[in-house]
Amino acid sequence: MESFIERRPHPVLAGAVIIEAALGDMAAGNPVFLQSNEKREALLQLTRLEARLASLRLQVMAVADDLAAEDGARDVAAWLAHETRSEGAERRRELALADALDRRWELVAVALTAGEINVAQAAVITRALDQLPRDRVEPDVIDKAEAHLVAEARELGPRELRLLGRKVLEVVAPEVYELEEARQLEAEERRASERTRLTMKCLGDGTTQLQGRVPDAVAIRLRTYLETFTSPRHHGVGEGDRIPARRTFGAAFCSFLEAVDPHRLPVHGGDATTVIVTIPLEDLNTALSAAGLVGNQPITAAEARRLACTAAIIPAVLGGSSEVLDLGRGSRLFKPAQRKAMVVRDRECRAEGCTIPATWCEAHHWGTPWARGGRTDLRDGVLLCSWHHHRAHDPTYEGTRMPHGDVRFKRRGQS
C-alpha cells in the first residue's frame, strides 16, 4: 500500500488566503461608522500591516530569479510589472531594495518585517548605508551606522533620515567623519564642475530660452543676488502680488544683468564690456512702438528710456544724419555721490506703500527727460525698486509725484 504525505501550503500562501478572507470581511464594514479613536487605531494598524506585507513581498522578490527565468522575463521586476500592470520603474526600485535587504542589511529587514519602519524609510536607510565607503570604513562602524539609522527611524521620517544618513559617520565614527566628508565634498565639486553647462536658444518670438546646470554654491549665490530684485518685502501694491513667482524671478534675472558693472567684466574688443542702445533722437522723444535697437534686436522707446537709467547701458543717440550726438556722457547718468545722497534722502523705494530698502533700488530720472533738455540734478532723481522702475517706463501705467516726494502708480484708464 503506497503511502504519501500531502504537502501543506507554504505559510506565506496560507497566510495570504487568511488575509484575503479577512479583507473581505473588513470591506463589508463602512469605516464612516468608526469612532474618532477607532479611526486613529485603524489607520496606524493598517499602515503597520501594509509595511509587513510589503516586507514579505520583497522577501519573495529577492529569491524569485527562477520564476523570471521560467517565464522568460528579464528579472522578477519586469515579470511582476507585466503581470500586475504596474510601473516597471517602481518594480525595479523594489527589486533593488529587496536585494539590499536580503544580502546586506539584516537589521533593516527585521525592522520592516516587524512593521517598525515603512518601505520608504527602509529605502532611504539602505541607500545611505550603500553609499558608505566600505573599503575605507571598518565593518563594525557600518554595523553601528545601520543600528543607529534603524533606531532613529522610529522617530524620523524619510526626509529627516535622508539628511541623517549623509552625516551618520559623524555620529557613529567622528574620528573618520572629517576625512570622508572632505572626500565627498571634493567628489561632489568635481561632478558639479563636469556637469556645469548653459545653453541659449532664440525662440523667434522676442524671447530666448536659457537652460543650465551650475554648482549648488553658484546657484545659492545667484539666488541671493536675484532676491534683491524681487521685492521680498513688497506688500499691498496690487499688481505685483499677482505676478507668478517664476515670472518675478525671471524679471529679477533681467534686472541683475542690467545692473552688472561693465568695468568689472573682461575687456571685450579693447574696451569694457558694454551694451549699446541705438536710437534716433526724434524717436527717443516719442513713444514709437519699435524705436531703438539693442544689437540688431528692436526695442520700444519706453524700454530704451528705461535702459538709459542704468549705468551699465550706453545710450547712443543719433541725429538726422545718423551722427552720434551723445555716447553715454557723464551728465546723462547719476554720479555715485548723487546716488548716495538719494539713499540718505529717500531711505526706501519712493513708490507709494513700497518699503524696499534704498540700497536695493535704482536711480530714475523723474523730472524733465534728459533727451528733452532736462538736467541730471539731484532734485530730479528718485529711487525706485526694480519692480516700480519698470512701472515708471511702462506706458500702461501712469505715475504721479506726490507733494511729499512719493510716487503713486495706477494703470491708465482707472479712476
Predicted pLDDT of residue 206: 82
139/324 Cα distance (integer angstroms): 77
Count CB neighbours of 260 within 10 A: 15
Amino acid at 263: H
Q: Is 32 helix (H, G, I), strand (E, B) or coil?
A: helix
Domain ranges of the chain: 11-191, 264-331, 334-415
CA distances from 104 to 59, 99, 132, 172, 262 (A): 13, 8, 13, 19, 58
Weakest-pLDDT range from 9-18, 179-188, 378-387: 179-188
Q: What is the 3-state secondary structure (H, E, C) of 256-319?
A: HHHHCCHHHCCEECCEECCEEEEEEHHHHCCCCCCCEEECCEEECHHHHHHHCCCCCEEEEEEC
Q: What pTM was computed for the model?
A: 0.49
Weakest-pLDDT range from 111-115, 153-157, 358-362: 358-362
408/402 Cα distance (integer angstroms): 7
301/282 Cα distance (integer angstroms): 10
- What mean pLDDT is predicted for residues 32-46? 90
338/344 Cα distance (integer angstroms): 10
pLDDT in tens, 250-273: 888 887 877 776 666 665 444 444
Which residue carries 528710456 as its cell? 305
Predicted pLDDT of residue 374: 62
- What mean pLDDT is predicted for residues 299-325? 51
Predicted pLDDT of residue 262: 64
Q: Which residue has the higher pLDDT, 380 or 293?
A: 380
pLDDT in tens, 99-109: 999 999 999 99
Predicted pLDDT of residue 118: 92
What percent of the chain lies above the pLDDT cut of 70? Answer: 74
User: Would you place residue 286 in the very low, low, confident or very high pLDDT band (cuts 50, 70, 90)?
Assistant: low
User: Would you place residue 339 in the very low, low, confident or very high pLDDT band (cuts 50, 70, 90)?
Assistant: confident
User: Would you place residue 274 in the very low, low, confident or very high pLDDT band (cuts 50, 70, 90)?
Assistant: low
Q: Is 235 helix (H, G, I), strand (E, B) or coil?
A: coil
Average pLDDT, the chain: 78
Element (H, E) at 142: helix 139-152
pLDDT in tens, 128-147: 999 888 878 888 889 999 99
Q: Which residue has the higher pLDDT, 211 or 186?
A: 211
Amino acid at 300: T
Weakest-pLDDT range from 51-55, 142-146, 195-199, 352-356: 352-356
User: Would you place residue 386 in the very low, low, confident or very high pLDDT band (cuts 50, 70, 90)?
Assistant: confident
Q: Is 213 helix (H, G, I), strand (E, B) or coil?
A: strand
Predicted pLDDT of residue 137: 82
Q: Is the pLDDT of residue 330 over 50?
A: no
User: Would you place residue 127 in the very low, low, confident or very high pLDDT band (cuts 50, 70, 90)?
Assistant: very high
Q: What are phi and psi of 210, to 5 degrees?
A: -105, 135
What percent of the chain lies above the pLDDT cut of 90? Answer: 20
Predicted pLDDT of residue 303: 61
Residue 169: CB partners within 8 Å, gap ≥ 6? Answer: 132, 137, 141, 145, 176, 177, 180, 181
User: Would you place residue 123 in the very low, low, confident or very high pLDDT band (cuts 50, 70, 90)?
Assistant: very high
Weakest-pLDDT range from 25-39, 52-66, 208-222, 309-323: 309-323
Predicted pLDDT of residue 282: 56
Cell of 32: 464612516
Which residue carries 519706453 as its cell? 302
178/188 Cα distance (integer angstroms): 15
User: Would you place residue 305 in the very low, low, confident or very high pLDDT band (cuts 50, 70, 90)?
Assistant: low
Q: Is the pLDDT of residue 6 over 50?
A: yes
Q: Is the pLDDT of residue 287 over 80?
A: no
146 within 8 A of 173, measured Cβ to Cβ: no
- In this structure, the dihedral spanned by the alpha carbons of residues 114, 120, 121 and 122, taken in order and rounded to 10 degrees, is 60
Predicted pLDDT of residue 161: 92
Predicted pLDDT of residue 317: 47
User: Would you place residue 318 in the very low, low, confident or very high pLDDT band (cuts 50, 70, 90)?
Assistant: very low
359: DSSP letter: G
Q: Is the pLDDT of residue 395 over 80?
A: yes
78 within 8 A of 72, measured Cβ to Cβ: no
